[in-house]
């Protein structure tokens, strides 16, 4: 009986000791997610939202997105043109997404990359690595530098898929 009491007490002690660590990790992930939504990648704004409607043939998507502070947009519902090679057929109405915006000459924005939040973590991370690559290539194509110094210090950033090459994100968005 005393062994059972000791085991239960030890389990409670370990659980109590670890709960601040788990809470801190969860808060760090929430802070990271908020930072990713409000930050730019290579000068391109990022957003997060829910797909309301898709028009695959016209490469259009209607999204209700959270505020995008970097360009002064409040939460709103709006239509976007989606640039190639995004395959809108891979997405569905109601799906939560991260997206990267590219400013157009007419002062509008198009979606240059989009990743589902409703997939396994590994698939999402691979897609976000691809989004990072799109941002870097777009910045270079626009004649801007994309200084990513310090990006490796960001919490929960896994650049291993980037190091593995293009195969890491094939097959999803």
pLDDT string in tens for the chain (173-residue length): 555 444 444 444 444 555 555 444 444 444 444 444 445 778 899 999 999 999 999 999 999 999 999 999 999 999 999 999 899 999 999 999 999 999 999 989 999 999 999 999 899 999 999 999 999 998 888 888 776 543 433 333 333 333 333 333 333 34
Claim: this prediction has a pTM higher than 0.85: no
Instruction: Return the residue matching tokens 């490469």.
Output: 59
- What pLDDT is attached to residue 61? 98
Instruction: List all residues 6 or more positions away from 159 whose beta carbon is below 8 Å from its beta carbon.
Output: 129, 151, 152
- What pLDDT is attached to residue 20? 55
Instruction: Return the residue matching tokens 């007419």.
Output: 106
List of domains in the chain:
39-169 (2.40.50.320)
């Amino acid at each position: 009986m005393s062994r059972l009491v000791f085991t239960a007490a030890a389990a409670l002690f370990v659980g109590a000791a670890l709960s601040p660590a788990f809470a801190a990790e969860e808060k760090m992930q929430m802070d990271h997610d908020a930072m990713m939504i409000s930050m730019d990648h290579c000068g391109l704004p990022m957003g997060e939202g829910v797909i309301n409607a898709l028009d695959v043939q016209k490469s259009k998507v209607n999204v209700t997105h959270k505020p995008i502070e970097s360009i002064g947009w409040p939460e709103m519902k709006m239509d976007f043109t989606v640039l190639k090679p995004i395959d809108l057929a891979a997405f569905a109405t109601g799906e939560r997404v991260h997206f990267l915006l590219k400013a157009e000459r007419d002062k509008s924005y198009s979606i240059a990359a989009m990743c589902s939040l409703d997939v396994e973590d590994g698939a999402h991370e691979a897609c976000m690595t691809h989004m990072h690559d799109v941002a870097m290539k777009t910045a270079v194509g626009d004649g801007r530098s994309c200084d990513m110094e310090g990006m490796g210090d960001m919490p929960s950033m896994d650049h291993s898929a980037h190091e593995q090459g293009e195969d890491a994100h094939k097959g999803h968005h």
